[in-house]
Structure 1
C-alpha cells in the first residue's frame, strides 16, 4: 500500500534528518507508526537502535526491549549506573551503545522517568560523553495520552520522593535533551467527523454531556457480538473466558498447538499464544506482518480449514484466503558488526502466527484497527488513557457497542499530560493575572484527599488576593492529621472541597493557574468529589519551571511561588485562563480556631457578599458585611458539625464568637449534642468493636492481627467493618471522621469512641468516679434507632416532663418534589431495590443518575428536602430539617420512586453486574469484594510503601460499583421511637432479623411465570388437535408443557422454602 507523505510527515522527516532530537506525538490513527517505518526504511548511513518499553511494543516495530538493548536487569534504578553500582554492561552491550547514532523509542508514554534517566546515564558512561544521552540523537514516538508507565504500589513512594511523575518527561535529564515536538494531526483511521470529535474529547479526559449521550446511544447490555465483531476488555481473564466459551460452542473438531521453544526465550519473546486452541469457525487475529503483504499484524479473519500443521484463514479486510503454517520467531539481541548495528539469534519460538480474537485485551489492541468493536466495560478501566485506547480502535459510531453506560469515571486521562498538550496547541495568553495555588492533604497511596488549600492572586506586580481554607477530606486524616496536630473534631466545621470551590473560582477568574501539587487535586476529585468540574482553565504545575520551591506548608509555598514570579516573571507563553465563574453559587472558607494564623484577603472585585461573610468568620475584614449572610454562615457551620457528629458546646461557642466579631450577636443555633457515652458499660465482654483512622494503638502497630489480640485480651470481638447487625461500637482516631466506617456508625446508630478514650479505658480499666467518666465521654452524631418499648419509657425524665410537641413536619412525595437539580439529604438507612446505600459516593452516584443533587447536611440554603427512614426521629438531621422548615420524604417512598426512575434508565440489571475478581493486563490496585456482613465495600489494601499510614477508610466507590458488589438486603421495619444510644447489651437486642422477602417474591414470580407457560402450551396441544395439525406439533407442545410444569414445581418448592426461612 502506497504511503501518503503529508506536509506533517515531510517536516518530521526533515527534522530527523538534520539531527534534531524529536518527540513525535499525535492522536490515535494519525500515522505515528507509519512515519516511523518510513524513516527506518530511508535511513542508510547511520546506526539506528530501535527500542520500546515492552515486548509487545518492541515486536510491533521490529526492535528490542529497552532492558534487553541496554542490559538492564529488573529492580535497577539510576543510582545503580553510577560508579560502584550494580550495572555492569557486557562487552556486547558496551559495543552496541558505543556504536549507536540514533536511538528510537516507540510507545514513549509507557517509559518511566527512572528508565529514561538510566538510558541517559548508560549512554554517557559507555560512550564517555557527558552530553545528554552521550550525544546520541533521540527519536521518541507515541501518544502521551494512551497507556501510561506502570508503577507498582511498592514503588509509588520512591517516585514521589525522586520524580515529579512517573512519565519520561519528569526524568532529571529531560530538560537537557531539548526535544522538538512534532504533533501529527491528520486522522487516517477514522473518517466519521462526529466520532473523531468525541475521541478528541475523551483523549483529554473532558468529555461533554452531548458526547457522552451520543456514546450511550450505542449501549446494548444484551448485545451478543456477532462473529465478525471483536470484544475488547481491560481484563485478561474475561477475554480468555469469552474466547474459550465461543470456541467450545463450535461443533467442529478442536485442535491444540503448543509453542515450541529453543535457546534463550522468555514470556515476552513472541506475540503468539503458548497454547493455541483452534477449530474451523474460530475468529483469529494475525500477530505478524506477512512478508507477501497479504495481511499485517492485527488483521482479523475466520478459520476455514484446520489441521495439526496448517490453519486456513479468510481475511476480513479483503476476503482473501491464506494458508498459515507454523511461524518461527527468532529471539535476538542487538549486536555490532562490521556493517553497523545488527542482531544475533539467541533462541526461537515456533507457533501459528494467530491468536483467538473473539475478544482481546485493550493492551493487546493498541495499534490495531477494529472495524466492528464491542467494548466490555465490566470491571471499568484500570489506567489513565485505557478507555481512549479501546475506543480509538474503532472506525465509526455505527459499528460500536458498549456493554454498559459510559460514565465519566471510565474516561481517565492524566491531567498533567493534558495540560502540556493543550498548551502546545493553544493560543498565546496575554493576561497578567496569575493564581498561585498550593494544595496539601491525605495520601493513602490508593487515593488522595485534599485537606488544605491556599491561594495568592497577582495582577502584574500587585497582590490582590491572599486566602486559604482547611478542607474536610471526607476520610480519615492519617499522617496529615498528626503532622498538623489536628485535634479530635478539628475539621468538623471545615467545608468540603466542593463547598470551597465556587469561591476559589471567582477569585481565580481570568487568571492563569500555577499550582503546587496539582496532581493531588486532580487525583482527589476521582474519590473525594467524584465528577466535580475543576474549571481551572489550562495552567502550569510550578515544577515545570525548574525553580526550587521552599516552604513547609501551603501558605509558605504559595507565597514562595508568588515571590519567585515577582523577582523574575515566569515564562507563561501559552495557557487558558480560568473561565467566568458562577456568581450565585455559594462558596466557603474556614480557618479552625486551633490552626495557625492564615491570611484572609479576598479580591473585592471578584467576591460576593457571601464570600465576604465567610472571610470575616476566619479573620478577614468585617466592614460592610450583610447580616443575613453572616447568619447564614453560622447556620452552615452548625449544620456541617451536626451532620459530622461533633456539634458540642465548644463548637457552638466558636461560632457565636466568630459571628459576634462579624457584627451579629443574636443567633439561633441547633441544640448541642448532650448525649454522653458510658464507655465502661459499652465495652463489656462480647462487645463487637471496629476501628477507623488508627495509625498506631497503645504504643504499637494497629494491623488486624494486633487489634484482634488486643481485643481478645479484654474479651472484645474485633470486627473489620461497621454493619447494622454485626458491630456494636466504633473506635475512631477522630470521632468526627467522615470515613466510611464512621458514616456507617452514625447511620446505624453505633456509638463512636475516640481512640484516646479507648486507650484510657484499656490502660486504666472501668472508671468508678462518675465525674471522671463523664470527662472521657464522646459525642455521637445520630442516636441509635431502637424498637419501641410499649410499657416502660426509657426517655430521660426531663424529656418525659416536657410539654407536648405540636410541631408538624411537611411531608411530600418524590413525584411532586424531586425535580432535576433538587438538593437532597438523607437520614438513616437508605435502601433502593433492596440494596443499602451508605452516605458518600454510593448515594452521590445514585443521585447523579437520578438527576438530583446529593447533600451531606441539611442546611438553610443548600438543601431542599430530607429523605428519612424514621419519621419520629429527633436526631441531628431531623433537628436541622425542623429548624429550617425543610420538607421530608419517607424512605420507602423514595425507594419506590428511585426504582421506577432507574428502570426508565435501563439500569435494571446493574445490581446483577457483579464482575468476578480478575487479573489486569497491567498491574493495578485490586478492589476487594465487601464482606456479606457489611453494606459498604471493603477498602483496597494500602501498599507496603505506605505502611506508616493508617489503614485508609475512604469514600471512593461509585453507586454502580457499590450495587454491583453488595448483596441485596431488605430494609428493616422502621422504628417508631428514637432513643438515646444504649449500652452494648441494649444495642445487641435491637438487631432483629432482616426481612428477606425478595427471594420469596422472586421464586413466587417465577412459579407463576412457568405455570402460565405450561398452561399456554397445553392450550396449544388442544388447538392443534382440533385443527388437525401434524402430530409433531402436538408432541413438541406436550414436551414443552411438561418441562414448564416441572419448572413450576421446582420454583414452587423454592418459594415455600424461602417463605419458611423468612418466617
Structure 2
C-alpha cells in the first residue's frame, strides 16, 4: 500500500483534483498541516466555517471568496460583482484545500468553480486550480434550510445537495482516496462496529454490540460528558450542574484584537464562568499535556491561571489563556501570495464539561461520554459521530438501548463512497 509520502506526492507533483476521505480519527487534519509545512505549492487553506478554519490555520470559504451568507447562491448575481482582489489572488494560487467538505453544499462548490473560471479566464474545472477536498461524508452533512428544498431538488435532484452532487465535482474528475488507518481507536472490536454503523452494514450486530454499553452504574453521571443532538439540553445541563456547586464563581471574558469575527461561533466561550469543582473539557490541543476534548476538574481559579486536575492520570496543570488567530490571504508588494494575520481571540481553552452537542463534539477525542438520544437522532451521521468520540468501548455509556432506527446514514452517501473508494494506508506518516 502507498505510504504518507505517496499521498503527499500525489498532491504535490500532479494537478490531480482529489477528494481525501477518512473516517473519524484517521489523521485528516494532521495531513493538512503536514502538507502546509512541506508543500512548495502556493496553497490556500479553507473551511466552510470560521471556527473550523481556525483549526487548520486557514480562512472560511465565505471570507476567501467574498461570498454572502445565503441559503442558496444566486450565481448570476454573484458573478456580476467585480472581484479584482480575488482575481489577483487566484492567479497566484496552485492549490485550494477545503477541509470539512461534508458540510459544503453543492451550490457552494459550483459557485467556487465559476468564480475560479471567471478569475482565470479559463473553462477548465476550477479555472485550472488544483483542488483538495478533505472530510468524512459519514459525519455531519451540509445545513439545508427547508425553504431551499425545492430549488435543491430542481438543480441537484436531491434536497440534501451534497458537494458530490455539484456540476463542479462531476466535471473536476476527482480521484477519491480514503485514509484507512484510524488513530483514535485501538480497540479492534470498537473500530469494527463503528465501521458497520458508518457503512450501514450488519446494523443489528453493531447495535447489539453497543447496547452492552448501557449505563449500569449511575455514578458515571458525575464524571462523564453528556453528548446529545439538542443544544437546549446542553445549556440546561451545564447551567444546572454548575449551580449545584457551592463554591463561588469566577467569570473570564474573552479578548479580541484586530479583525476577529465574533458574530458567529467562537472557538471558546466569549464569557466563561467556572467554579472550583466544576467539570471542564479542553477545546484546544496542547503540545504535551492535553488534547481537544480532554476532561478535568477545576482545582483553583486565579486571575491569569486556571488550575485543572486532568481526570486521566490525575495530573495537576496550570492552564493559561490561549490565542486563536484568524488569517486572510493577500498579495505582497512583489505580487507573491502571503498569509496575513487578521485578528486574535484570547480566552482560556476550557468550557464546561457536563454536556456538549454532537455537532460541537465532531473533531474532538473525548475521555468518557454518556450518549443521550432519548428523543432520537434526527440527522445523517449523528449517532456515528457520538459513538466515535472515545478511544475505548468502556468509555461509551448509553442512556438507553439504541436500535437500527437510530442509525441514520444517507443511502446516497453510502452508495457514493462504495462506488469511488480507493483505500490508502498512511500509517508511516504518523
TM-score, with normalisation over the residues of structure 2? 0.89
Supply the distance in 1 between the matched residues of 2:420 and 2:388 (Cα, whole angstroms).
22
Deviation at 1:406, TM superposition (A): 0.5
Deviation at 1:142, TM superposition (A): 0.8
Deviation at 1:207, TM superposition (A): 4.3
Q: Once the two structures are superposed, what CA deviation does each residue of 1:120-178 show, in whole Å capped at 9, x if it has no partner?
A: 11111122222111111111111111111110000111100011331111111222211
1:398 counterpart = 2:394: yes
Secondary structure of 2:206's aligned partner? helix
Are the equivalent residues in 1 in contact too, given 2:198–2:384 (CA < 8 A)?
Answer: yes
Supply the distance in 1 between the matched residues of 2:218 and 2:347 (Cα, whole angstroms).
33
Identify which of structures 1 and 2 has the higher relative contact order when contacts are C-alpha pairs closer than 8 Å and 6+ apart. Answer: 2
Residue matched to 1:312:
307
Q: Once the two structures are superposed, what CA deviation does each residue of 1:191-212 show, in whole Å capped at 9, x if it has no partner?
A: 2222112111111234432322
1:129 counterpart = 2:122: yes
Supply the distance in 1 between the matched residues of 2:347 and 2:25 (Cα, whole angstroms).
30
Q: Once the two structures are superposed, what CA deviation does each residue of 1:33-69 show, in whole Å capped at 9, x if it has no partner?
A: 22222222211x3211011112232122121111011
Query: Which of 284, 287, 290 is residue 288 of structure 1 equivalent to?
Result: 284
Residue matched to 1:202:
197
Are the equivalent residues in 1 in contact too, given 2:327–2:342 (CA < 8 A)?
Answer: yes
Residue matched to 2:367:
371
- List aligned pairs for 1:1014-1053, cutoff 5 A: none
Bigger CA radius of gyration? 1
Residue matched to 1:186:
181
Q: Which structure 2 residue ranges, 5 or more long, are not aligned?
A: 423-430
Deviation at 1:10, TM superposition (A): 3.0
Supply the distance in 1 between the matched residues of 2:307 and 2:335 (Cα, whole angstroms).
39
Residue matched to 1:321:
316
1:151 counterpart = 2:151: no
In the superposition, relative to structure 1, how do residues 32 and 321 fare at CA in structure 2: closer, same or farther (>3 Å)?
A: same
In the superposition, relative to structure 1, how do residues 284 and 21 fare at CA in structure 2: closer, same or farther (>3 Å)?
A: same
Secondary structure of 2:391's aligned partner? coil
Residue matched to 1:216:
211
Secondary structure of 1:100's aligned partner? coil
Query: Which of 249, 252, 277 is residue 273 of structure 2 equivalent to?
Result: 277
Secondary structure of 1:266's aligned partner? coil
Are the equivalent residues in 1 in contact too, given 2:176–2:421 (CA < 8 A)?
Answer: no
Runs of 4+ in 1 over 6 A off after TM superposition: none
- List aligned pairs for 1:579-594, cutoff 5 A: none
Supply the distance in 1 between the matched residues of 2:374 and 2:257 (Cα, whole angstroms).
39
Secondary structure of 1:141's aligned partner? strand
Are the equivalent residues in 2 in contact too, given 1:259–1:349 (CA < 8 A)?
Answer: yes
- List aligned pairs for 1:37-52, cutoff 5 A: 37-43=33-39, 45-52=40-47
Supply the distance in 2 between the matched residues of 1:229 and 1:212 (Cα, whole angstroms).
22
- List aligned pairs for 1:823-862, cutoff 5 A: none
Secondary structure of 1:210's aligned partner? helix
- List aligned pairs for 1:289-438, cutoff 5 A: 289-290=285-286, 292-316=287-311, 319-337=314-332, 338=334, 340-425=336-421
Deviation at 1:235, TM superposition (A): 0.9
Supply the distance in 1 between the matched residues of 2:46 and 2:219 (Cα, whole angstroms).
39
Query: Which of 210, 221, 230 is residue 225 of structure 2 equivalent to?
Result: 230
Residue matched to 2:63:
68
Are the equivalent residues in 2 in contact too, given 1:225–1:231 (CA < 8 A)?
Answer: no
CA RMSD of aligned residues (A): 2.4
Residue matched to 1:54:
49
Are the equivalent residues in 2 in contact too, given 1:223–1:403 (CA < 8 A)?
Answer: no
Are the equivalent residues in 2 in contact too, given 1:81–1:122 (CA < 8 A)?
Answer: no
Deviation at 1:301, TM superposition (A): 2.4
- List aligned pairs for 1:870-949, cutoff 5 A: none
Supply the distance in 2 between the matched residues of 1:340 and 1:241 (Cα, whole angstroms).
50
In the superposition, relative to structure 1, how do residues 318 and 123 fare at CA in structure 2: closer, same or farther (>3 Å)?
A: farther
Q: Once the two structures are superposed, what CA deviation does each residue of 1:545-600 show, in whole Å capped at 9, x if it has no partner?
A: xxxxxxxxxxxxxxxxxxxxxxxxxxxxxxxxxxxxxxxxxxxxxxxxxxxxxxxx
1:268 counterpart = 2:261: no
Deviation at 1:106, TM superposition (A): 0.7
Q: Once the two structures are superposed, what CA deviation does each residue of 1:708-745 show, in whole Å capped at 9, x if it has no partner?
A: xxxxxxxxxxxxxxxxxxxxxxxxxxxxxxxxxxxxxx
Supply the distance in 2 between the matched residues of 1:396 and 1:71 (Cα, whole angstroms).
43
- List aligned pairs for 1:640-1039, cutoff 5 A: none
Secondary structure of 1:398's aligned partner? helix
Are the equivalent residues in 2 in contact too, given 1:48–1:100 (CA < 8 A)?
Answer: yes
- List aligned pairs for 1:568-647, cutoff 5 A: none
In the superposition, relative to structure 1, how do residues 7 and 60 fare at CA in structure 2: closer, same or farther (>3 Å)?
A: same
Residue matched to 2:425:
none
Are the equivalent residues in 1 in contact too, given 2:86–2:119 (CA < 8 A)?
Answer: no
Are the equivalent residues in 1 in contact too, given 2:139–2:381 (CA < 8 A)?
Answer: yes
In the superposition, relative to structure 1, how do residues 247 and 196 fare at CA in structure 2: closer, same or farther (>3 Å)?
A: same
| Greater share of residues in strand | 2
Deviation at 1:357, TM superposition (A): 1.5
TM-score, with normalisation over the residues of structure 1? 0.38
Query: Which of 9, 12, 15 is residue 7 of structure 2 equivalent to?
Result: 12
Bigger Cα displacement from structure 2, 200-209 vs 392-401: 200-209
Give the total of aligned pairs.
416
1:105 counterpart = 2:101: no
In the superposition, relative to structure 1, how do residues 340 and 365 fare at CA in structure 2: closer, same or farther (>3 Å)?
A: farther
Secondary structure of 1:225's aligned partner? helix
Supply the distance in 2 between the matched residues of 1:38 and 1:318 (Cα, whole angstroms).
30
Supply the distance in 1 between the matched residues of 2:359 and 2:121 (Cα, whole angstroms).
38
Supply the distance in 2 between the matched residues of 1:345 and 1:65 (Cα, whole angstroms).
14
Residue matched to 1:34:
30
Are the equivalent residues in 2 in contact too, given 1:199–1:392 (CA < 8 A)?
Answer: yes
In the superposition, relative to structure 1, how do residues 13 and 346 fare at CA in structure 2: closer, same or farther (>3 Å)?
A: closer
Are the equivalent residues in 2 in contact too, given 1:78–1:115 (CA < 8 A)?
Answer: no
Deviation at 1:115, TM superposition (A): 0.2
Deviation at 1:293, TM superposition (A): 4.0
Supply the distance in 2 between the matched residues of 1:179 and 1:318 (Cα, whole angstroms).
45
Are the equivalent residues in 1 in contact too, given 2:59–2:326 (CA < 8 A)?
Answer: no
Supply the distance in 2 between the matched residues of 1:318 and 1:102 (Cα, whole angstroms).
43
Secondary structure of 1:103's aligned partner? strand
Q: Which structure 1 residue ranges, 5 or more long, are not aligned?
A: 1-5, 427-1063
Supply the distance in 1 between the matched residues of 2:148 and 2:45 (Cα, whole angstroms).
27
Are the equivalent residues in 1 in contact too, given 2:255–2:346 (CA < 8 A)?
Answer: yes
Supply the distance in 1 between the matched residues of 2:20 and 2:135 (Cα, whole angstroms).
6
In the superposition, relative to structure 1, how do residues 316 and 125 fare at CA in structure 2: closer, same or farther (>3 Å)?
A: farther
Are the equivalent residues in 1 in contact too, given 2:295–2:310 (CA < 8 A)?
Answer: yes
